[in-house]
């Protein structure tokens, strides 16, 4: 499996008195495990626990700007822990 950084464009909703020119899409940089990918979407999980993935985001393929593979792992528990 691949641990990756995915850069994608997300929608922004306005439910207030914002003017159209004040509402813009936003760029998201998200890190996680690529758990599946097809022609429609990429699924990225931010948590691996007890042998399963959680915190899954389904990102439409048309919104993805960049996928940077960070590391390939066989067992997510073997990923290095970032220094504190």
Tell me how far apart the alpha carbons of residues 44 and 33 are, in angstroms, rounded to a whole number. Answer: 5
pLDDT digits (tens, 9 = 90+) for 29-84: 999 999 999 999 999 999 988 888 999 999 999 999 999 998 887 776 666 665 56
| pTM metric for this prediction | 0.81
Q: Which fold has domain 2-12+26-75?
A: SH3 type barrels. (2.30.30)
Which strands, in side-by-side order, build the sheet including 2-10? 52-60, 41-49, 26-37, 2-10, 64-72
pLDDT value, residue 72: 82
**Of 66, 73, 84, whose CA–CA distance to 48 is shortest?**
73
Segment 49-61, tens digit of pLDDT: 888 899 999 999 9
Residue spans of the domains in the chain: they are 2-12+26-75
């Amino acid at each position: 499996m691949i641990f990756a950084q995915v850069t994608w464009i997300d929608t922004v909703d306005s439910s207030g008195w914002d003017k159209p020119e004040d509402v813009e899409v936003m760029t998201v940089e998200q890190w996680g495990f690529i758990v599946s990918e097809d022609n429609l979407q990429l699924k990225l999980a931010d948590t691996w626990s007890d042998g399963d993935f959680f915190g899954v985001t389904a990102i439409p393929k048309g919104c993805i700007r960049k996928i940077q593979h960070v590391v390939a792992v066989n067992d997510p528990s073997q990923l290095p822990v970032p220094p504190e």
